[in-house]
Homo-oligomer: A and B are copies of this chain.
Amino acid sequence: MIYAALLGLGVVGSGTAEVLTKNKKLIEKKVGDRVEIKYILDLRDFPDSPFGTLVVHDFSCILNDPQVTVVAEMMGGAHPAYDFTKSCLLAGKSVVTSNKEVVATYGTELLRIAAEHGAAYLFEASVGGGIPIIRPLREDLAPNHVSAISGILNGTTNYILTQMETEGTPFDEALKQAQSKGYAERNPSADIDGLDAARKAVILAAMAFGKRLDPNAIPCEGITTITAEDTALARSMGYSIKLIAHTEQADGKILAMVSPRLVPLSNPLGGINGVFNGILVTADMVGQVMFYGPGAGKLPTASAVVSDMIDIMEHSPSGIHAPVWTDADEADVFEFPGYTCARLLVFQATASALDTLTARFGSLHSLQLAPGRLSFVTDPLSEADTDQRISDCGLPLVSRIRLL
C-alpha cells in the first residue's frame, strides 16, 4: 500500500482526489500496488465532500507520518506551499505540484533538496494544465538541444483575445465575459498582466536550458493595451494576436519573456483559440513539435498531477532522472534591448507621414492606411533600435506589437 497526502482541497486538489478515486483501479494496475489518500490538508472543513473525513488542519500530522511517501501540493501561492514542500522533501517524501509560483521561484532549491534526500520533485501540472510538456521535454526530446519554446500558456487571456478577434468585443467586455464564465479571477491581474505566463515561461526556460530566471524580472507585457482594432488589423494582415510566453537561447544567453505577439495564421499556434493552450518547441533534431490541449481546469490539471504521482509510485524516486537547475546570474541573461524581431507599428498619422516613416524604417511591410491611422510591419529590429526610430520620427504611436 502506498499512502499519499494532498495539500489543498481547492479546484485542483478536489480534482486530484476525484481522479485518484474514479480511476483507482486503472492507477493501481499501473502502479502495481494499492494507493490510498491518507490525509488532505486544508484550512477549511468540507462536511459535504466525499473526502471530508480525510481533511486535517495540521501539516505536522502529514510530515510526521512515515507511511506517507508521496505528497501532492495544490495550495497555490508561495507560502506556506514552499515551506511545506521543503519540509516534505527534507523528510524524504516526494512532492508533486501544480503550483507554478513555487516552481518558478524556488525550483532550483527544491530540486536540489529532493535529489539530496532521495525524493522526487515533479511539476508536470505547473505548465499547460493537462497538456504533457514537462515530461516530454525531459524524456521524449532528451536527444535534442532545444533552441526555443513559444507557448500560449494562459487560457484566460487567450479566451479574451479570441473574443476580441472573432466577435470584435472590446477588452473590458471580453474580460467581464471571461469572469462570468469562471475563466478569470475577480482580480485578473496575474493573468492579464502576464505574470502567470511569465512564471510558466521561466519553468520552460529552466527545463530547456537548465537555468532558472527570476519570474519577476523577465520582460513581461500583458494584454491590457490590446484593442479590438489591433486584433482586427492583425487579422486583416494574416495574423492572430496571442499572449506568447517565449524563451530562447542565443549566444549562450537565455531570454524568457511574455508579450502579445502577431502570430501568422499558418503557425500552429495561430489557430489556438478560446481557453486552450499550445506549446511549440523548436529543437535541433526533431525540428518543431507542438503540444495542445486544456491549459487549466479541475480534471485536466489533476490528470497531470496524478501522472506525476504515478511516475513516483512506479519508479523509485531514484529512478526518476530529475533535471538539475541552477539559478541564472546576470551573465546568463540575454540583454533585452538587443532582442530583435519584426513589429507591427500603428501611428496616428496620414499618408503625408509616409516619407518620414520610410526614411526612419526603410521598408514598410503590409502597409495599411485608415483615417488618421498608418500601420505597417517593420523589418526585424532590436528593441533599442525600434525605440530610437519611433522617437526620431516624431509621430504619436498608437500600437506596437511584436511578431512571432
Name A's B-contacting residues (CB within 8 A): 19-20, 22-23, 26-27, 30, 32, 124, 130-132, 135-136, 139-145, 268, 271-272, 283-294, 297, 299-300, 302-304, 306-307, 310-311, 314-315, 319, 321
Q: Given contacts A136-B136, A139-B135, are A144 and B303 in contact (CB under 8 A)?
A: yes
Residues of B within 8 A of A293 (CB): 286-290
Provide a sorted-by-A list of 22 A–B residue pairs whose CB atoms are within 8 angstroms: A19-B143, A22-B284, A23-B284, A26-B145, A30-B142, A30-B321, A32-B321, A131-B289, A132-B140, A132-B141, A135-B135, A139-B139, A139-B310, A268-B271, A268-B292, A285-B300, A285-B306, A286-B294, A286-B299, A286-B304, A290-B292, A291-B292
Residues of B within 8 A of A27 (CB): 142-143
Measured CB to CB, the closest approach of chain B to A191, in angstroms, equals 20
Choose among B139, B140, B285, B311 the residue that contacts A23 (Cβ–Cβ < 8 A): B285
A136, B144: Cβ atoms under 8 Å? no
> For the complex, what is the distance from the CA of A286 to the CA of B136, rounded to whole Å?
16
Measured CB to CB, the closest approach of chain B to A34, in angstroms, equals 16
Q: Given contacts A143-B26, A292-B292, are A287 and B299 in contact (CB under 8 A)?
A: yes
Measured CB to CB, the closest approach of chain B to A182, in angstroms, equals 16
Measured CB to CB, the closest approach of chain B to A117, in angstroms, equals 19
Residues of B within 8 A of A140 (CB): 124, 132, 135-136, 304, 307
Q: Given contacts A303-B143, A304-B140, are A289 and B286 in contact (CB under 8 A)?
A: no
- Given contact pairs A286-B300, A289-B291, a sample of 4 additional A-B residue pairs in the complex whose CB atoms are under 8 Å apart: A26-B145, A130-B289, A135-B135, A285-B306
Measured CB to CB, the closest approach of chain B to A85, in angstroms, equals 21
> For the complex, what is the distance from the CA of A136 to the CA of B32, rounded to whole Å?
19
Closest to A316 in B: B319
Residues of B within 8 A of A319 (CB): 315, 319
Residues of B within 8 A of A23 (CB): 143-145, 284-285
**9 closest pairs, A vs B, by CB?**
A132-B140, A289-B293, A143-B306, A130-B286, A290-B292, A285-B303, A286-B303, A132-B136, A285-B299
B139, A311: Cβ atoms under 8 Å? yes
> For the complex, what is the distance from the CA of A145 to the CA of B140, rounded to whole Å?
22
Measured CB to CB, the closest approach of chain B to A309, in angstroms, equals 8
B132, A132: Cβ atoms under 8 Å? yes
> For the complex, what is the distance from the CA of A136 to the CA of B291, rounded to whole Å?
11
> For the complex, what is the distance from the CA of A106 to the CA of B321, rounded to whole Å?
31
Residues of B within 8 A of A143 (CB): 19-20, 23, 26-27, 302-303, 306-307, 310
> For the complex, what is the distance from the CA of A294 to the CA of B271, rounded to whole Å?
18
Measured CB to CB, the closest approach of chain B to A209, in angstroms, equals 12
Q: Given contacts A26-B145, A30-B321, A293-B286, are A307 and B139 in contact (CB under 8 A)?
A: yes
Closest to A20 in B: B143
Measured CB to CB, the closest approach of chain B to A61, in angstroms, equals 26
> For the complex, what is the distance from the CA of A135 to the CA of B135, rounded to whole Å?
9
> For the complex, what is the distance from the CA of A282 to the CA of B131, rounded to whole Å?
12
Measured CB to CB, the closest approach of chain B to A195, in angstroms, equals 25
> For the complex, what is the distance from the CA of A27 to the CA of B145, rounded to whole Å?
10
Q: Given contacts A19-B143, A26-B143, are A294 and B287 in contact (CB under 8 A)?
A: yes
Measured CB to CB, the closest approach of chain B to A19, in angstroms, equals 5
Q: Which of A293, A304, A311 has the most CB of B within 10 A?
A: A293
Residues of B within 8 A of A321 (CB): 30, 32, 314
Closest to A273 in B: B266
Choose among B141, B303, B307, B310 the residue that contacts A307 (Cβ–Cβ < 8 A): B141
